[in-house]
Amino acid sequence: MYIGDYLGRREIYSPERLAIIDAGKSPELRLTYREWNRRVNRLANWLKAEAGIAKGDRVAILARDGIEHLDSFFACGKLGAIHTPFNWRLHWRELLALIENTSPKVLFFSDDFKEKVSEIKAAISDKPHAIKHYIHLEGEGLPGSIPYEQVLESSPDAPVTCETLEAEEIACLLFTGGTTGLPKGAMISHRMICWNVLNTIIHDLRHGDIYLNVFPLFHTGGLFTYLSSQVILGNTSILVRQFEPEKVLELIERERVTVFAGVPTMYQMLTEAPNWPTADLSSLRFCTSGGAPLPVPLIQKYMKEKGVRFKQGFGMTEFGPGLFALAPEDAERKAGSIGRPNFFVDVRVVDDQNRPVGPNEPGELVLKGPSRSSGYWNDPEASAAALDEEGWFHTGDIVRYDEEWYFYVLDRKKDMFISGGENIYPVEIENVLYQHPAVQMCAVIGVPDPKWGEVGKACVVLKPGAKATEEELIAFMKGHLASYKVPKSVVFLKELPLSGMGKVLKRELRAKFVQEQEGGGSESEG
């Protein structure tokens, strides 16, 4: 197959080349393309024979980064099944809703999250969408779950492919933060993957590159920004279980890493690691930064102290993910820019009437091209709403471009903010706050934070006569949301600023608290 069985094709071309280093394992796991492909064949054969997985079925995973994520992805490709990775930061109730929406037949899970899996298993054990097979990646697992190593050891490594697989069929579901609650599952087709690889090779990667991944593999940044392209090129990739600055610096030096990507918070944390002064980063061709603009002083520090050059990137789950790239030589000259569009991505900036605007005029970024996703899983209305009559994908991002066709993001999607590289959608948090009996009105905004870029602040108006404390509301939110979504502070106000249509003016709130934060003023009105 020209699609789907990516590892099978790569084994033919470079069987003895080092494919993957899982540095999160003890001892580290190092596999050639032949060894890795045979391993994934065993998993695919087990999924087919024992779990009955066929084309279109979902196979889910809830785990920290490790080779098992990639095993599942490539095994699903061989079967025509749909790899479905879940964000382990989510609350178990949020995960349950995603499972009910996607109905996976198999769930792989790591020991870190077996309590969440236990809650989920109990909640759906007697439901039509109950998961049939639970496979634990390490530890003792749960009653009835199967050890991952047993799965691999019990199956043959004979080749397995889905001969009827076509490019438009779905390879993966990746979940975007929902603006109204449940995250939407972007449908990633094999066509989208292949075109993104072409864009990535044109703009970033070369034969022989060594890439160290620190992004979560449930993110498009982890699974598709570089990793899928590395496999197709036959290059070496390195995984870590989680981001640890000291270890990352050690791996870059020891393995002579040539390409690294992170968010600005990670780059700042690397400079604070105890081994930063002695770390040899001379092997790096460039580092890619995304999620938020990289501060110029940080760019200069890396260049001065380590000779490292940066590429600013911009992408999204539903498109690409590689959309824009800022070349290293422009990192300072065009600081704040996301660069120019990748080769096979068409872009426009349009006004409220969907008419193209000229240089230095703000407007919405719209996109067209073959690396667009196929819509949202089980959500035809949201899928249709993302496209206009001419087939342009509307991002909701407000941008401008200059006379040299460099683009700049002016405002992010509606009221979303980014904290530590994670998209945070205030409406989802507000929906939880409104469940508290003391809350009359609320609005969640993002405010600057030196470590995370932005953090949430909940602005709350209490019902007459009602009482609640900051600690009480934060604890309440933690009972319903993933911890990274929970605002770091709560401020109580007498009223919220409203427009003539009764809409909360969040920009006014944000301006007020940013000004007070900078001036050290008091936040509470009562």
Model pLDDT for residues 26-35, shown as the tens digit of each residue: 999 999 999 9
460-488 pLDDT, tens digit per residue, is: 999 889 999 999 999 999 999 999 999 99
Q: Which helix (H) or strand (E) holds 149?
A: helix 148-153
Structural domain spans, the chain: 1-20+31-165, 417-519
Whether CATH 3.30.300.30 fits 417-519: yes
286, 309 contact by CB (below 8 A): yes
pLDDT at 424: 83
**CATH level 3 topology of 1-20+31-165:** Rossmann fold (3.40.50)
6-33 as b/e: b if 16+ CB within 10 A = bbbbbbeeebeebbbbbbbeeeebbbbb
Q: What is the pLDDT of residue 82?
A: 98
Q: For the segment 69-108, what is each residue's pLDDT rounded down to a tens digit?
A: 999 999 999 999 999 999 998 899 999 999 999 999 999 9
Question: Would you state the pLDDT for residue 525?
Answer: 54
Q: Which residues pair with 398 in a beta bridge?
A: 364, 411
Q: How far apart are CA 94 and CA 92, in angstroms?
A: 5
Range picked from 58-62, 86-90, 313-317, 511-515 for highest mean pLDDT:
58-62
SS3 at position 492: strand
Region 253-257: mean pLDDT is 98
* pLDDT at position 474: 97
Q: What residue has token string 């996607």?
A: 102
Give the model's confidence band at 235: pLDDT under 50 very low, under 70 low, under 90 confident, else very high: very high
- Model pTM score: 0.83
What is the chain's mean pLDDT, rounded? 91
Q: Quick one: 387 exposed, middle or buried, by C-beta within 10 A (0-12, 13-18, 19+)? A: middle
